[in-house]
Amino acid sequence: MTQPANLESLISSSRASFRLLTDEERQASLEAFLAPWRPHTDLWVFGYGSLVWRPEFDYLEQRQAHVNGYHRSLCLWSRRNRGTPEQPGLVFGLDAGGSCRGMAYRIASRRVRDTLYELWKREMPSGAYIPKWLNCRTRQGNIRALVFTMDRSTDAYVPGLTKEQLISIVQNAHGIYGPCTEYVLETAHALKQVGIQDSKLETLVSGLQDKSALSREGKLAAQRTPKG
């Protein structure tokens, strides 16, 4: 699938600024976040993307949670996990405005530092998120949790993409964790499984599935076309 010229220009212009954080920079970010944390207390982590279906850490409890002031959005270039510098994919960021429902996980106090060390390697390779302590509403009561919010000042931030642009980017990208399409579909499926509705994401998934079906039909038609 070829991409629109304006999309190619957008990808090209963002390529030069891509940089991974050093181990020292990532550790400093983690320590800054943990400064207000009281040792020997459990810590909540709010997930809104892949953390919903692949948390990859042990937790004592999980709850549906609601965050005000931010919404789930495919607005972050992924040049490693779900794409490459030459063909970036997109991953979810928690962008300013609106609200978001996701899953909150309670980490035992004794595991907090080790868990967050690994989580920082996964979620903060380029520092495109701003980790914040945010209030989350749950049915069992309010909690304060770690939330990875979108840093709008980073060149990896790409807001305002059309549905067609989103589909084109997602279908073409593949990173060290696999296809970008898988990431989007797995997130949508996991949210649906826990009863969380995201109408924009569901519309995007329908578009991806329609494009995939058309692509398969085109390949089959080409195979049926007599040659020579």
pLDDT surpassing 90 at residue 39: yes
CATH number at residue 51: 3.10.490.10
Query: Would residue 227 count as lying in a domain?
Result: no
- What is the DSSP track for 102-163? EEEEEEPGGGHHHHHHHHHHHH-SS--EEEEEEEEEETTEEEEEEEEEE-TTSTTB-----H
pLDDT surpassing 50 at residue 224: no
If you average pLDDT over each of 11-15, 42-46, 152-156, which comes out highest?
42-46
Q: pTM for this structure?
A: 0.88
In this prediction, residue 218 has a pLDDT band, given cuts at 50, 70 and 90, of: very low
Give pLDDT tens digits for 117-135.
999 999 999 999 999 999 9
Query: Would residue 150 count as lying in a domain?
Result: yes
Closest CA to 112 of 58, 52, 149, 51: 58
pLDDT of the residue at 7 = 77
**How many residues would you count in the chain?**
228
Query: Would residue 110 count as lying in a domain?
Result: yes
* Helix, strand, coil in percent for the chain, rounding step 5: 40, 30, 30
- Specify the 3-state DSSP secondary structure of 147: strand
Q: Which helix (H) or strand (E) holds 67?
A: strand 61-78
How big is the CA angle at 204 (ends 198 and 207), to the nearest 5 degrees?
A: 145
Domain residues for the domain of 93 are: 5-215
**Please, what is the average pLDDT of the chain?**
90
Query: Would residue 186 count as lying in a domain?
Result: yes
Query: Would residue 228 count as lying in a domain?
Result: no
pLDDT of the residue at 18 = 72
Give pLDDT tens digits for 52-108.
999 999 999 999 999 999 999 999 999 989 999 899 999 999 999 999 999 999 999
Distance, in Å, from the CA atom of 154 to the CA atom of 114, rounded to the nearest integer, reads 27
In this prediction, residue 14 has a pLDDT band, given cuts at 50, 70 and 90, of: low
Once rounded to an integer, what is the mean pLDDT over residues 23-48? 98
pLDDT surpassing 80 at residue 111: yes
Distance, in Å, from the CA atom of 134 to the CA atom of 121, rounded to the nearest integer, reads 21
Within 13 Å of residue 62, how many CA atoms lie on the same side as its CB?
14
Query: Would residue 120 count as lying in a domain?
Result: yes
Query: Would residue 224 count as lying in a domain?
Result: no
Query: Would residue 11 count as lying in a domain?
Result: yes
- 61 forms beta bridges with 106
In this prediction, residue 13 has a pLDDT band, given cuts at 50, 70 and 90, of: low
- Look at the chain and report how many structural domains it folds into: 1
pLDDT above 90: percentage of residues in the chain: 81
pLDDT of the residue at 227 = 46
